[in-house]
Amino acid sequence: MFSPPPINHQQARMILPQGTRDVLPPEWAWREHLRGKVAAQFSSWGYQGVELPALELQNPQHPQDSRAFKLIDSGGEVLALRSEFTTAVQRLVRLRFPGGPFPLRLQYGGRLWLRSQASELGRLREFTQLGVELIGVSTPQADAELLALSLSTLQAVGVRAQLEVGHPGFLDALLEDAGLPDTLKGQLHDVLDRKSGPDLSALLASAGLGGELERTLSVVNELYGGPEVLAQARRLPLGMRAAAALAHLEQVAELFGQERLLFDLGMSRRYLYYSGFTFRAYAEGSPRQILGGGRYDSPNYDSPDGAAQGGLSGAGFALGLERLTEVAARHLPPEPEVVLALDTAGAEHARSLGLIAEGCWTGDLGELARYAALRGIRRTVRGTGFGTLAELTGAGEATA
Amino acid sequence: MTPLAPTPITLALPKGRIFEESIELLARAGLPLSLPEKSRALQWKMGHVTLLELRNQDVPVYVDLGIADAGIVGKDVLAESGRSIYEPLDLNFSHCRLSLIREVGATGPVHRVASKYPRLSAAYLSGRGLSAEIVRLSGNIELAALTGLADAVVDLVQTGSTLKANNLEELDVILRSSARLVVNRTALKLKRSELRPLIANLRELVAVNGKLAAPARG
């Protein structure tokens, strides 16, 4: 494999590791505003917050293990920096809520780290997700609730979004029923994930497969768009599992309102733990999805035999705070005015009016005026009276 | 003209001959395009379509990141980019093959391979259980085999006449390439009213062309 030469950090004068960034004042305020709105929305639907450690014990079964940052603990054990939340929340539920009560509604928020993320537009290696998990139930009603919650959350922060649903179990079942070897199934998942018509034909031809399977998979490759997709899917020759996956999707769509959804039945598994229904949200005018989620069954990676050992079914979604900040920034309320408080009573008065009051750190009026001009402060407050910056030093001097 | 205003779309096309062929094909598929006058412009707006003229390696980048909604690029460049974007159609022009090339009669072990395609070369070698060092070069790759810089090279072959003239032979075909239509993952869904008919029209045109001129695919 080609790999770039190691970077000499000193020589390159690199100040931050690639794929990380500082968050500066106006953006920080937007982030916190959005974080608060989103968390409040989750809370009002009954999702209680949990906090999870950013340091985890490394586990080769973890779905993101190959992409996670690793550290060595003092005893020599390998630790991993948190790389996704769903697995961690499952661990927490098994440990802290073994008996429920179910359904259990939890929300979380925090940073994630991925080692191998290409560092370009919106793809940081350190990023923040906010999300929910609805655990212990697997009904279409539960899936419809998550769709409704994700849309209302995006609406609450002023983002116009379009939801798209799929069911990787559908494609999985079709390939399973065709009795294909695992390697070929893997290749077909990859080809269908890219909706590559030419590669699909070439792959089937090289495997000596054609006929009904090729016709079916070519149709599946085109099964994206509005609710008409469901009817097209129903006309395909489906085995029991594929039919069941389609039926589940139809029920969810029925409950949520199918005219409000886009569908993609060629959606393949991008995360191995999503075995059931999956969904994502596209924000108007943003080239990448802003929210994604789905249903999984029993990803108990801590136990040697997975599902058999107390795995839980659940579903959830997460949204990326960095992308949300970009997309939602236009809809934010204006910041309150900042004033310079010349005494404590003035500061309290201004704050009681909802303004931001900064205190004086010196008696040097020229210094205060210079600072205020740089900071964009136009008014002062003393007691209950407001004044202009010019009055602070006598007319004309404050423009330095 | 349709009564509804069409959704604006941005297309990424590679410079050179493939740019002209692409514009002709897209115009026949119903887009309001014509070959722009020679100028220093880097992008053109024609009706609801914005065209970006790029180096071919940059087309997958623009499409993956959503700066362009769709684009046309060789399968060789797309595969080398490693980007997972939608790739609905083989446009059946600009055919070439990516091959393993050595000097005629060379029999020694392959320890070093030179290529403009380091990712595909590495995948090919590891798929055959070979471990060789990959040297990334930018042009006239054949020279690496002739001068001893590398024991073999991985490069594009169109007619094979350069190889013959330089006493080189093609030992294995790694990938058969032709121009592909590529589409951004979000755009295919959100701009499907514009992109689906375009894909359908192109598919029909390619099928008709394929019947007229026998495809050079083996």
ipTM of the complex: 0.85
pLDDT of residue A7: 58
pLDDT of residue A172: 87
* Phi/psi of residue B166, nearest 5 degrees: -110, 20
Q: How far apart are alpha carbons B100 and B170 in whole angstroms? A: 6
pLDDT of residue A96: 93
CB-CB under 8 Å, A194 with B87:
yes
More confident residue, B108 or A397: B108
**What are the chain A neighbours of B187 within 8 Å (beta carbons)?**
287
Mutate to test the interface with A, among B65, B119, B125, B131 (most CBs of A within 10 A): B65
Q: Which residues in chain A land under pLDDT 50?
A: 1, 119, 305-309, 396-400
Q: What is the mean pLDDT of residues B60-75?
A: 95
Q: Tell me if A6 is assigned to some domain.
A: no
Closest in B180, B183, B196 to A198, CB measured = B180
pLDDT of residue A332: 64
Q: Which of A285, A302, A331 is the last residue of a domain?
A: A331
Of A147, A380, A379, the residue nearest A262 (C-alpha): A147
**What are the chain B neighbours of A287 within 8 Å (beta carbons)?**
65-67, 184, 186-187
Structure tokens at B117: 């395609």
The CATH number for A134's domain is 3.30.930.10
Cβ contacts of residue A169 below 8 Å, gap of 6+? A241, A245, A275, A276, A277
Q: How far apart are alpha carbons A92 and A223 in whole angstroms? A: 37
pLDDT of residue A179: 87
Q: What is the mean pLDDT of residues B2-10?
A: 79
**What are the chain A neighbours of B84 within 8 Å (beta carbons)?**
193-194
More confident residue, B114 or A336: B114
Answer yes or no: are the C-beta atoms of A131 and A316 closer than 8 Å: yes
Q: What is the mean pLDDT of residues B34-58?
A: 90
Q: Which fold has domain B97-176?
A: D-Maltodextrin-Binding Protein; domain 2 (3.40.190)
pLDDT of residue A227: 93
Q: What is the number of domains present in chain A?
A: 2
Q: Tell me if A51 is assigned to some domain.
A: yes
B178 to chain A: closest CA residue: A198
Residue B3 DSSP class: S
Of A257, A208, A17, A197, the residue nearest A125 (C-alpha): A17
Answer yes or no: are the C-beta atoms of B59 and B8 closer than 8 Å: no
Q: What is the mean pLDDT of residues B42-68?
A: 94
3-state helix, strand, coil in chain A (%, to 5): 40, 20, 40
Answer yes or no: are the C-beta atoms of B86 and B185 closer than 8 Å: yes
Q: Tell me if A16 is assigned to some domain.
A: no
pLDDT of residue A41: 97
A290 to chain B: closest CA residue: B186
Count helices and strands in chain B by DSSP H and E runs: 8, 11
Q: Which of A282, A314, A331 is the last residue of a domain?
A: A331
pLDDT of residue A389: 85
pLDDT of residue A294: 92
pLDDT of residue A108: 98
Q: Tell me if A9 is assigned to some domain.
A: no
Q: How far apart are alpha carbons A210 and A281 in whole angstroms? A: 35
Structural domain boundaries enclosing A357? 338-399
pLDDT of residue A311: 61
pLDDT of residue B84: 87
Are A250 and A375 contained in the same domain?
no
pLDDT of residue B80: 95
Q: How far apart are alpha carbons B33 and A135 in whole angstroms? A: 53
**What are the chain A neighbours of B90 within 8 Å (beta carbons)?**
197-198
Give the CA distances from residue A72 to residues A56, A165, A236, A380, B131, in Å, rounded to whole numbers and listed in that order: 11, 40, 52, 54, 31
Token match 């924000």: residue? Answer: A283
Within this chain, domains B9-94+178-212 and B97-176 share the same CATH topology: yes
Are A324 and A351 contained in the same domain?
no
Q: Which CATH class is domain B9-94+178-212?
A: alpha beta
Measured N-to-C along each axis, helices A240-256 and A140-156 cross at an angle, to the nearest 10 degrees, of 40
Q: How far apart are alpha carbons B205 and B210 in whole angstroms? A: 8
